[in-house]
């Protein structure tokens, strides 16, 4: 093959620049419009209809370029997004927890909790009862020891020894009661022990009193919520709201 023929083929097939990507096309288009906007927006006010019309045209082109870029973004993401969605769906079958799916690991754990709860609740009841009885016994022995100390004859060694014994027994009973009071109903085995947790929730019984509490203690958050509701109503077409002035203004 001659050098001339090789050079000809190199020019035909090897020196053509690659086609720009959708991102590169959008980037160039938006950059050009941005540069044009910099020339227009130099701090001087708009004074003629011609300038206003030209700027409106520029704004339209910017919006169209931004929309085209967003479409290109969706096209670029789509292959990866489909793969991500497929992976997410697969894992949701195992560990997902939302309105549409509950993974089998979550179902299994919830079923285990449902099986454990009655046993742990009953065990907790028994432990609390045992703690109550142990505390009563400890209190009884403490009073008995105190009475023996008050009544003892310092000259009677037998009475002193008996009082000291009762004090010792009272301390032991108190320690037993403390341990009983600290006992927790739980299931052990591998991993972290499973036990009951105490949770609290508010149940509204008087709407007016509840609203008054919010007004006193959560007024800032309440005002934000009220403003959001008023804004939503105005956007929906309401033009009269008690406690509000509906202000009209012109915006682009």
Instruction: Please provide the DSSP assignment of 3-59 as one string.
Output: HHHHHHHIIIIISPPPPPPHHHHHHHHHHHHHHHHHHH-SSPPP-SHHHHHHHHHHH
**pTM for this predicted structure:** 0.59
Which domain range does residue 169 map to? 104-185
With respect to residue 199, please indicate whether it lies within any of the assigned structural domains.
no
Exposure of 173 by Cβ count < 10 A (0-12 exposed, 13-18 middle, 19+ buried)?
buried
At residue 168's C-alpha, the angle toward residues 165 and 173, to 5°, is 125
pLDDT value of residue 15: 66
Query: Of 95, 114, 144, at which residue does a domain stop?
Result: 95
Query: Of 55, 75, 95, at which residue does a domain stop?
Result: 95
With respect to residue 231, please indicate whether it lies within any of the assigned structural domains.
no
pLDDT digits (tens, 9 = 90+) for 164-222: 898 999 999 999 999 999 989 889 888 888 898 889 999 999 999 999 999 999 999 99
Query: Of 185, 218, 235, at which residue does a domain stop?
Result: 185
190 half-sphere exposure, CB direction, 13 A CA radius: 0
With respect to residue 8, please indicate whether it lies within any of the assigned structural domains.
no
Cα separation, 103 vs 96, in Å, equals 5
Please check whether residues 28 and 73 belong to one and the same domain. yes
- Residues of the chain with pLDDT > 90, as a percent, come to 71
Please check whether residues 112 and 170 belong to one and the same domain. yes
With respect to residue 157, please indicate whether it lies within any of the assigned structural domains.
yes
With respect to residue 152, please indicate whether it lies within any of the assigned structural domains.
yes
Please check whether residues 24 and 84 belong to one and the same domain. yes
With respect to residue 90, please indicate whether it lies within any of the assigned structural domains.
yes
Please check whether residues 110 and 52 belong to one and the same domain. no
């Amino acid at each position: 093959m001659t050098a001339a023929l090789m050079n000809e083929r190199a020019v035909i097939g090897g020196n053509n620049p690659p086609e720009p990507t959708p991102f590169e096309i959008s980037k160039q288009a938006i950059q050009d419009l941005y540069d044009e906007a910099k020339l227009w927006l130099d701090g001087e006010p708009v004074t003629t209809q011609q300038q206003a019309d030209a700027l409106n045209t520029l704004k339209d082109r910017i919006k169209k370029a931004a929309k085209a870029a967003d479409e290109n973004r969706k096209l670029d993401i789509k292959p990866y997004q489909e793969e991500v969605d497929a992976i997410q769906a697969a894992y949701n079958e195992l560990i997902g927890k939302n309105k549409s799916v509950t993974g089998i690991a979550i179902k299994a754990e919830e079923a285990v909790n449902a099986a454990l709860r009655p046993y742990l609740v009953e065990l907790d009841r028994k432990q609390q009862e045992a703690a109550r009885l142990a505390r009563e016994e400890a209190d009884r022995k403490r009073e008995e020891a105190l009475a023996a100390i008050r009544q003892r004859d310092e000259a009677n060694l037998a009475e002193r020894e008996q009082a000291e014994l009762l004090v010792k027994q009272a301390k032991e009973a108190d320690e037993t009661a403390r341990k009983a009071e600290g006992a927790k109903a739980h299931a052990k085995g591998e991993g972290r022990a499973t036990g009951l947790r105490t949770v609290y929730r508010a149940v509204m019984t008087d709407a007016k009193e509840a609203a008054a509490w919010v007004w006193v203690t959560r007024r800032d958050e309440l005002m934000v919520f009220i403003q959001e509701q008023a804004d939503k109503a105005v956007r929906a077409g309401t033009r009269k709201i008690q406690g509000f002035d509906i202000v009209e203004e012109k915006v682009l």
